[in-house]
Amino acid sequence: MSIQLFSNSLGEEELNAVKNVFDSKWLFHGKEQNAFEENFAKKIKSKKFLFTNGCTNSIHMCLQALDIKEGDEVIMPSNSFISCPSSVRMLGGTPIFCDIEKETNNIDVNSCKEKITKNTKAVIILHYGGYPCKFDELKEVVKDIPIIEDSANSTYSLYKGRVCGTLGTFGCFSFDAMKMICCGEGGGISVNDTNYLDKLLKFRFLGLPPRASGVDKSKKEEIWWSRDPESYGIKHVSCDIQAAIMNVQLTKLDSFIKRRNEVTNLYNEILSKNKNITLQKQNTDEIVSNHYLYWIKVDKKYRNNLINYLKDNGVYCTVKYWPLHLTKLYNDNQSYPNVEEMIETLINLPIHQNIKDEDVNLICKIINDFFMKYI
């Protein structure tokens, strides 16, 4: 017996969509990508959405668009995914870490405020596990400093009626194999300040400005094959195969979130009776998670033993995300107490749209049995 931490829901509809792309003989980015960009932008009510080959690349592109360079600082919580500081460093900038809130694992606004200097050029936020951060409070503190939302966790999470990823200057999404909706690898950018759109379009494809297809260009120009790059760049594009999958997946998103909400409620119903467990922050009228992750916290003296007990009983768990300031590469010789407490007490339990109620009941039983046995 083994209960998966993540699972996807790909079926005949996605296969048929891919077959249609194969039959068209056009595998590059084309009508399927255009359709997905329009469909996703409409779903999240974004001004513009660009499909890319990953969330990491999307974050890098946004930092490029903000002209991050040597001497520039970018603030982010220490429990951000590794792609965030890596992208800053690769452009010559300096990642600046801050602490998180205990109850949400999201950026602590006051800690962020303390880190702002004249060199601060951007702030990257993560809506941990899909639960939106206190965006309005953060915006009041950072004022005109651009905010990049790492929305890899928060596809269609809602903050005061607005979709996460449309709150800041940019929102970066992930569609990799573990995400809410997926195509193996993929991502995208919600462009909420369209002044950056031309830059992002160039950065997505080799520093070249957008143009008509070669066939269309040949109807108007004698030397239609010429290209003149306007900046240095690499390829961050996706293709119609992935876009076709995403167009189908998008139609299933609401049902996935509905099921994850049911799973979350079942976990809460059972585990709330265990006084040894702290549950994650619950939805409110204004803050609605998509339930990408389900986490609990337990006393650090039990945490590792409980994870191994679950594993030994066929339940794989994990702990996301490892504090950046504790890595050799990014160690800034500072302490962030709430991040450090999180990494010693948190457990991410299995949650996805395919998990059965009987599996959730079993996981909860194993957890409760552990505490009955060892306390």
Say whether both 182 and 60 belong to one domain.
yes
Q: Is residue 34 part of a domain?
A: yes
Any residues with CB less than 8 A from the CB of 236 and at least 6 apart, and which?
52, 53, 54, 57, 58, 60, 61, 203, 204, 205
Query: Any idea what the CATH number is for the domain that residue 340 is in?
Result: 3.90.1150.10
Q: In what order do the strands lie in the sheet with 158-159?
A: 162-163, 158-159, 287-288
Looking at residue 145, its amino acid is: I
Predicted pLDDT of residue 196: 95
Q: Is residue 3 part of a domain?
A: no
Contact between 185 and 53 under an 8 Å Cβ cutoff? The reply is yes
Residues 45, 24 within the same domain: yes
Predicted confidence (pLDDT) per residue in 258-306, tens digit: 999 999 999 999 999 999 999 999 999 999 999 999 999 999 999 999 9
* Percentage, residues of the chain above pLDDT 90: 89
Number of domains in the chain: 2
**How far apart (Å, rounded) are the C-alpha atoms in residues 77 and 324?**
9
Residues 373, 375: Cα–Cα separation, whole Å = 6
Has residue 218 got a pLDDT over 70? no
Per-residue pLDDT tens over the stretch 54-63 = 999 999 999 9
Tens digits of residue pLDDT in 186-199: 999 999 898 999 99
- Confidence (pLDDT) at 341: 98
223 and 305 assigned to the same domain: no
Q: Are residues 156 and 104 in the same domain?
A: yes
Distance CA 86, CA 101 (A): 23
Q: Which of 199, 221, 250 is the last residue of a domain?
A: 250
Distance CA 147, CA 125 (A): 7
Look up the CATH number of the domain holding residue 79: 3.40.640.10
Do 221 and 337 lie in one domain? The reply is no
Task: Name the amino acid, one letter, at 170.
Answer: F
Same domain, 164 and 37: yes
Judge if 147 and 269 occupy the same domain: no
Other CB atoms within 10 A of residue 120 CB? 17
| Chain position carrying tokens 């009987």 | 358
Domain membership of residue 1 (yes or no) is no
| Domain-located, residue 27 | yes
Last residue of a domain, one of 185, 217, 250: 250
Q: By residue range, what is the domain housing residue 257?
A: 253-374
- 265 and 236 part of one domain: no
- Does residue 321 have a cis bond before it (omega within 30 degrees)? yes
Q: Which residues pair with 148 in a beta bridge?
A: 124, 170
Residue 103 has φ and ψ, to the nearest 5°, of -75, -20
Buried b / exposed e along 91-106 (16+ C-beta atoms within 10 A): bebbbbbbbbbbebbb
Q: Does residue 74 share a domain with residue 215?
A: yes
User: Do 185 and 58 share a domain, yes or no?
Assistant: yes
Q: Are residues 302 and 223 in the same domain?
A: no
CB 87 within 8 A of CB 137: no
Where a domain ends, among 229, 250, 271? 250
The answer to whether residues 174 and 323 belong to one domain is: no
Q: What is the pLDDT of residues 47-106, one digit of tens each?
A: 999 999 999 999 999 999 999 999 999 999 999 999 999 999 999 999 999 999 999 999
Each residue of 298-341: pLDDT tens digit? 999 999 999 999 999 999 999 999 999 999 999 999 999 999 99
